[in-house]
Amino acid sequence: MTGMQAERVASGPVLTVADARKTYPDGPAVLEGVSLAIEPGSFCVLLGASGSGKTTLLRSIIGLVPLDAGAIDVSGTRLTPKTLRSLRRQIGMVHQDFGLSARLTAAQNVMAGTAPGLPMWRLLFQAYPKPVQEKACALLARVGLEAGHVNRPASGLSGGQKQRVGIARALINDPKLILADEPVASLDPQTAQDVMGLLRQTAKEQGAAVLCSLHQINLSRAFADRIIGLREGRIVFDGPPGQLSQDMLARIFGTGRETFAPAMAVA
Amino acid sequence: MSDAGSLSPSGQNTSPARWQVKPAFDWKTVLMVAAAFVLLSVSAQRMELHRLSSQLGEFLQASVGLKESSQIGRGIGSVTQQMYPIAIAERTPVSLIDDFDPAHLPLFSHLETEQVEESALDPATMQMTTKTVKKTFLVEPAGYLLYTLGKMLETVEMAIWASLFAVLMSLPLSWVAARNFTPHPVLYGLARSFISFLRAVPELISALFLVLAFGFGAIAGILALALHSVGFLAKFFAEEIEAADKVPQDAIRATGAGDLAVLRLAVLPQVLPSYTALTFYILDRNIRMGTVIGLVGAGGIGQELKGRYDMFQYDHVATILLIIFLSVLALDALAAKIRRKLI
């Protein structure tokens, strides 16, 4: 990337989504015209109930779910089948169920993030270049793991430790955008707080923007710079946590029995 | 969709008093059992199963003394009598050994001399004369046992090579034959049909033809076992790939990696334990089948078994069967041990 392009990118949004629409075969519409722009370095939370379309939106940004209509631009580059793989390398992603390979070690899982740039034989024998190994260790230390965890299989880590490894993997390519899909859904409340704090802190140090889906209101309020409320595939709220009033929450989650019915029906 | 009522639009929201639990068995089950009974009866007629029952009855009566003898008893009796004692030693007439040197006998062996009456036609008188000759035999006390063990080792080696070839062929084939990773749908179809074809040809049949192509011996046996094993391994390897958890795969794919990297980093670690288990199963199976394909001349202990059986040397057959049985038991225990270590 030339200096001029970098400047232009730095001034523009790191991610724009324009009129994203998606309907699964034999299912309800999941995204009904979502448009948003994420500014560099900001921590945005996608808040909504289960089935509101958060996961589909995040997966479509990284190209795991093809959209029916709409456009996605990452740092000014349009997401197309041709640019898909190069754009993916500029995005870090943290997954709901961690997405780790249980039999690979913590370090191997982190280093796996560099796979697209490496020759096949290095992957086959898990022989990563020395700089990658050093970076993986530094990242594991940064997310709060210890020397004893480096060569331990992911299956031997606790839930919180697994997601710390997941965050380290998302950071290994120095992304300017991190997508996090319910990163703390399967963690206990205290660990969830810690992991969210870590995600925010490391992303800020990195200068990366974060788009993180959550269904917990308290976590969204505590960590977000900006909250985007999603309900039944539409954006119903967009603003700083301070503006998230009871009325706005009702718009995002519904009230009374309505809170549960749509979630159950769509999920 | 915005209220609970819309969840049951077709009026299924009736009072619980009118709900009904579906019975586990109904008249369809009864009909199916009856149909199966009829089909089995017809088949039993075709298989002459009535003879099985009369013969077994005869045998049971004979064994408790109600009858003098039975067909099964006679058949089994004559063979088992000749099987005991099993052949352990090897007796070779010295006259058949090239360059025999009585001063240098093989280890633990000794010579036995026998008086043998031999009849021969006297060319002068044109009459049969009988004369007594001294014949010397070289006796190796455990000779035949060792020879058979060597043949068993040959069968095990055949099975190991066949399994190795099968794994090496199945790994790339399973990638093409896995629906979610195949490079092209046409290749997928071709790979699947090829695998089914290999599975459909029994190794005994392919060994018949491979013996014609490669001659008698281990090579034909190894290839026959390997081809049939690929039919199994590639199918199950591919199904393991298809069934692997998608979450780690998505995570690797989201980094921008291609299919091969996803296979290596997210699929292989998941399927490795079952691949190991399947490979051990195939090895176990190849050892058992390896004894059988020797019957058509494809090397190993089966070839020896077939030869001795055809010469009615049932004592030698007994030794071979015993060694096969013990080897399979021992290898089973060994395989279980290795599997526990690996998984």
Q: Which amino acid is at A75?
A: S
String of DSSP letters for B57-101 = HHHHHHHTTSSS--HHHHHHHHHHHHHSSPP-SEEEEGGGSTT--
Cβ distance of B254 and A91 shorter than 8 Å = yes
Q: How far is CA A40 from CA A7, A9, A43, A239, B272, in A?
A: 12, 9, 9, 16, 42
Closest CA to B230 of B196, B188, B183: B196
With residue A252 as reference, give the H or E element that holds it.
helix A246-253
Please report which confidence band the pLDDT of residue B88 belongs to, taking 50, 70 and 90 as the band edges. Answer: confident
Q: Which chain A residue lies closest to B251 (C-alpha atoms)? A: A99
What is the model's pLDDT at position A222? 94
DSSP class of A50:
T
Q: Closest approach of chain B CAs to the CA of A85, in angstroms? A: 4
pLDDT, mean of residues B4-20: 64
User: Would an 8 Å CB–CB cutoff place A97 in contact with chain B?
Assistant: yes
Of A88, A98, A262, the CB nearest to B254: A88
Say which range, A8-12, A181-185, B78-82, has the weakest mean pLDDT.
A8-12
Of B4, B258, B261, the CB nearest to A257: B4
Conformation bin of residue A51: beta by default, left when phi > 0, alpha when psi is -120 to 50: left
The mean of the pLDDT values for chain A is 89
Say how many CB pairs under 8 Å bridge A and B.
Answer: 96
The domain locations on chain B are 27-81, 90-141, 144-342
8 Å CB contact between B251 and B184: no
User: Would an 8 Å CB–CB cutoff place A95 in contact with chain B?
Assistant: yes
List of E strands, A79-233: 91-94, 177-181, 209-214, 226-231
CA distance B202 to B193: 16
pLDDT greater than 60 at residue A266: no
Cα distance between the two ends of chain A = 41
All residues of chain B having their beta carbon less than 8 Å from the beta carbon of residue A28 are: 1
CA distance B36 to B47: 16
pLDDT greater than 90 at residue B24: no
CA distance B312 to B84: 13
All residues of chain A having their beta carbon less than 8 Å from the beta carbon of residue B274 are: none
Cβ distance of A261 and B3 shorter than 8 Å = yes
Residue labelled with tokens 């586990």:
B24
User: Would an 8 Å CB–CB cutoff place A258 in contact with chain B?
Assistant: yes
User: Would an 8 Å CB–CB cutoff place A104 in contact with chain B?
Assistant: yes
Q: Can you give the pTM of this predicted structure? A: 0.79
Determine which of A87, A95, A101, A124 to mutate to test the interface with B (most B C-beta atoms within 10 Å): A101
User: Would an 8 Å CB–CB cutoff place A78 in contact with chain B?
Assistant: no
The domain locations on chain A are 13-90+176-267, 98-174
CA distance A230 to A248: 11
Instruction: Give the tens place of pLDDT for each residue, B256-274.
Output: 999 999 999 999 999 998 9
Please report which confidence band the pLDDT of residue A2 belongs to, taking 50, 70 and 90 as the band edges. Answer: very low
Say which range, A170-184, B131-145, B147-161, has the weakest mean pLDDT.
B131-145
User: Would an 8 Å CB–CB cutoff place A89 in contact with chain B?
Assistant: yes
CA distance A12 to B224: 65
Q: Which chain B residue lies closest to A83 (C-alpha atoms)? A: B256
User: Would an 8 Å CB–CB cutoff place A160 in contact with chain B?
Assistant: no
What is the model's pLDDT at position A105? 95
Please report which confidence band the pLDDT of residue B76 belongs to, taking 50, 70 and 90 as the band edges. Answer: confident
CA distance B255 to B266: 12
CATH of domain A13-90+176-267: 3.40.50.300
Q: Which chain B residue lies closest to A93 (C-alpha atoms)? A: B254
What is the model's pLDDT at position B12? 58
- Please give the share of chain A, as a percent, with pLDDT higher than 70: 91
Instruction: Give the tens place of pLDDT for each residue, B216-229.
Output: 889 999 999 999 99
pLDDT greater than 50 at residue B2: no
CA distance A15 to A77: 9
String of DSSP letters for B255-318 = TT--HHHHIIIIIHHHHHHHHHHHHHHHHHHHHHHHHHHGGGT-SSHHHHHHHHHHTT-HHHHH
Could you tell me the fold of the domain covering B144-342? MetI-like fold (1.10.3720)
pLDDT greater than 90 at residue A238: yes
